[in-house]
Structure 1
Amino acid sequence: MLDIVIEARKAAIGPGMNVRRILPFRLRRMVGPFIFMDHAGPIEMPPSLVPSMDVLPHPHIGLSTVSYLFGGQVTHRDSLGVQQVIRPGEVNWMTAGSGIAHSERFEDPAALAGGQLEMIQTWVALPEKDEESAPTFDNYQPGQLPIFTDSGVWMRLIAGDAFGLKNHVKTHSPLFYLHVVLQPGARFGLPREHTERGIYVAKGSIELSSRTYSVGQMLVFSKGVDPVIVAKEPATLLFLGGEPLGERFIWWNFVSSRKERIEQAKADWKEGRILLPPTDNLEFIPLPEDKSRPAGSPAPEALS
C-alpha cells in the first residue's frame, strides 16, 4: 500500500538557515517530476543576524524552482531583472531552462519576529524538450489559486490539477501540488489520476492503517493505491506528484538528463557566463569544490 516513508534530514543552506531536506532521498530520488524539496522554519532570528540567512546569487539549469510560504516574506531577484517579494499563499515559479541565477534575501526583520518565517521550496525537473528553454519567472497571487473547503478540510491548489481543480500556474509536465489543512478527525485521500504521489507532513500528525506519521515525514504511493488518511490533530500537509520524466542527473543546483550538460553548467558559472541579477550582483556563491570524486571522473548523480 505504502511504497516508502521518507524521513527528512537536517541540511544547512547557509549560516543560520537550517532546513529539513526531503528530496532527493537515496531510496526514492523523485516523486513524479519533483526532484528536490526543502522545508525551512519556523525560524526566529535576532535582527542583527538576519543578513546571515540570505541566500546569495546562485545558478540553476534544467528545472523550475517553486517557492511557497506559510509565514514571513522573502525577496527574490534574478538574472531577468525580476525583483519580487513573496508572501504567504503566493507562488514564485522560476523556470531556469538554459540557465539563470537568483538570490533570496530576508530584508524585513519583522517577518522573522516570533518564528513567523516558514517556507517550502521544491524543484520540478523539466522534460527534455524544455531543458534548454529560455528562463522565465512568474508570481501567482492567492486569488489565482483555487481553494476547496469541506467539513474539517481546507485545500489550495498550488499548481497542476487535482480533484477537479485547475489553475493557470504554468507547468511543463503533468503534476499536482496541494496545500492541505485538516482538522482533528478529518479524513482525506489522494488524487487518483497521477502515477506517483506523495504526502508531506509539515505540521501536526496523521494516521494511516493504524500507524501515526508526523512532521518531517513524506509518504509515497504508486497509482492504483487509494489511501485514506485521518488527522490525529490539526495537520498541515503538502500533496505532490505527477508523471515521472525518466533519468535525471543532479549536481549542486543543476539538473539535466545529460551528464555533459551539467559539466557545461559548472564551467559556465565558474567563467561568469550565467548572468547575475542586475540589482544583486556584488556577491555570489562560488562553484563548490567537488570532493566526492577523483579529477576527471563523472560528477553528477543519476536520479530516476
Structure 2
Amino acid sequence: MSYYAAPPPDCQEQRGRVQRLVEGRQRNLGGFCVRRVLPAAEQPMLGPFIFLDEMGPAELPAGEGINVRPHPHIGLATITYLFEGEILHRDSVGAVQPIRPGAVNLMTAGRGIVHSERAGSDLDRPARLHGLQCWMALPDGLENCDPAFAHYTADDIPHVSRSGVDVRVVMGQAFGKRSPVETASPTLYCECRLDSGTTLACPAAVERGVYVVRGRLRIGRTVCEEGSLAVLDADDALELHAEVDTLCIILGGDPVGPRHIFWNFVARDPDAIEQAKADWMARRFPEIPGDHEEWIPIPEWPTTRGA
C-alpha cells in the first residue's frame, strides 16, 4: 500500500478534549500478531510519529521467538520499547544490542540502514513478548543524515512516582524531567501506569495523543478503551482519569510536514522511495555484519508515484 501522510484537513478546525479515537487494527506478520495504530486514514501522523505497532502480548514457545529478517529503512528513526521479553537488534552500522523492558533502542535510518530483530537470550525457554515499535519521520534537512544507533538502559530513563501513578519520561521533557534520549525534532513519549481511580495531567505538545495499552481511561466525556489512540487538543489542560488499572503511552511532538510512506521507507519526495526500492532489490544497501544471508524482498505493492 502507498500512503501519503499529512494532517487531516479538519484537524486545525476541531476543538474539544478528544479530537478523535483511532482504533488499532490486528495484523498478522507471518504468525506473529501486532496491533497497528498508525498510520490510519483518519490520522496519518501525530507529531513526528508516522507508525505505531503494539507487539503482542504474545506467548512464545521455546525455540519460537521473534525472527524478523534483515530489511531496510530510510528517512525515519525507530524507537523500540518493551514491557515484557527481549529482542536482539543487529544493524548495518555494526550495532548488536539486546533490548529488555524499560530500555530504549533508537535507530536512525537517515539515508539508509538495514537491521534485523531476532529472539534474545530467552529463546531456549517459553517467554512472553510485549512492546511498542514507533517510527518518527525525520525533519527536512535530516532525512539523508548518516545512519546511527543508540541504546539507553532502563536506569537511564527518568521517572516520576506519586500515590497510584508512575511515569517514565522516555523521550522529550515532561513532569519536571528531561529524557536523555536524543531526538531529531521536539518529541514527547511517556510511559504511564495509573491505578484505578487516579488522575494524571497530560503534558502539552504541539500535537499529542494517548495510546491505551491496557485498561481504560476517561478524558473529559470520552472513554478510551484498550487498543485505542485518543488524539487530543494541544491547547487544553487535559486530565487522564483511570477507570481501572491502566498502562498508557503519551506521545506526540512537533509535526515535520507531510510524508510519503511505503513499506519501510519514509520520505517527503516519493522519488526517494522509488530509488530506495530499486537499491534494495539490487542489494545496494549496506549489509549487517554477521546477519546478511537472509533478507526480506519488497512486497508486490503499487508504486508510490501519484500518491
Q: Same fold (TM over 0.5)?
A: yes
Instruction: Identify the residue that residue 174 of structure 1 maps to in structure 2.
Output: 186
Give the alignment's Cα RMSD to 1 decimal: 1.6
1:164-205 Cα distance to aligned partner (Å, 9 max, x none): 32122110101110000000111012112x110010000111
Per the alignment, in what secondary structure is the counterpart of residue 298 of structure 2? coil
Per the alignment, in what secondary structure is the counterpart of residue 128 of structure 1? coil
* Higher helix proportion (structure 1 or 2): 1
Q: Does residue 1:4 correspond to 2:20, yes or no?
A: yes
Instruction: Identify the residue that residue 48 of structure 2 maps to in structure 1.
Output: 33
One-letter amino acid of the structure 2 residue matched with residue 90 of structure 1: A
Task: Say if 1:177 and 1:238, in contact at 8 Å, map to a contact too.
Answer: yes
CA distance in 2, matches of 1:210, 1:43: 32
Q: Does residue 1:61 correspond to 2:74, yes or no?
A: yes
CA distance in 1, matches of 2:221, 2:186: 32
Q: Does residue 1:47 correspond to 2:62, yes or no?
A: yes
Task: Say if 1:21 and 1:37, in contact at 8 Å, map to a contact too.
Answer: yes
CA distance in 2, matches of 1:212, 1:128: 36
Q: Does residue 1:187 correspond to 2:199, yes or no?
A: yes
Instruction: Identify the residue that residue 260 of structure 1 maps to in structure 2.
Output: 271
Instruction: Give the deviation of 1:276 after TM superposition.
Output: 2.1
Task: Say if 2:69 and 2:296, in contact at 8 Å, map to a contact too.
Answer: yes
CA distance in 1, matches of 2:104, 2:264: 20
CA distance in 1, matches of 2:120, 2:177: 35
Aligned residues: 291
Instruction: Identify the residue that residue 243 of structure 1 maps to in structure 2.
Output: 254
1:31-85 Cα distance to aligned partner (Å, 9 max, x none): 10000000011111222433xx311000000000100000000000000111100
CA distance in 2, matches of 1:9, 1:117: 18
CA distance in 1, matches of 2:137, 2:60: 32
Per the alignment, in what secondary structure is the counterpart of residue 268 of structure 1? helix
CA spacing shift, 1:142–1:45, aligned 2, 3 Å: closer
Task: Say if 2:63 and 2:125, in contact at 8 Å, map to a contact too.
Answer: no
Instruction: Identify the residue that residue 164 of structure 1 maps to in structure 2.
Output: 176
TM-score by length of 1: 0.92
CA distance in 1, matches of 2:82, 2:233: 28
Alignment of 1:1-304 (within 5 A): 1=16, 2-13=18-29, 15-50=30-65, 53-109=66-122, 113=126, 116-192=128-204, 194-290=205-301, 292=302, 298=305, 301=307
Per the alignment, in what secondary structure is the counterpart of residue 43 of structure 1? strand
Instruction: Give the deviation of 1:298 after TM superposition.
Output: 1.0
Note the residue ranges of structure 2 that are not aligned, 5 or more in a row: 1-15
- Which portions of structure 1, spanning 4 or more consecutive aligned residues, are displaced by more than 6 angstroms? none
Instruction: Identify the residue that residue 13 of structure 2 maps to in structure 1.
Output: none
CA distance in 1, matches of 2:120, 2:182: 28
Per the alignment, in what secondary structure is the counterpart of residue 3 of structure 1? strand
Note the residue ranges of structure 1 that are not aligned, 5 or more in a row: none
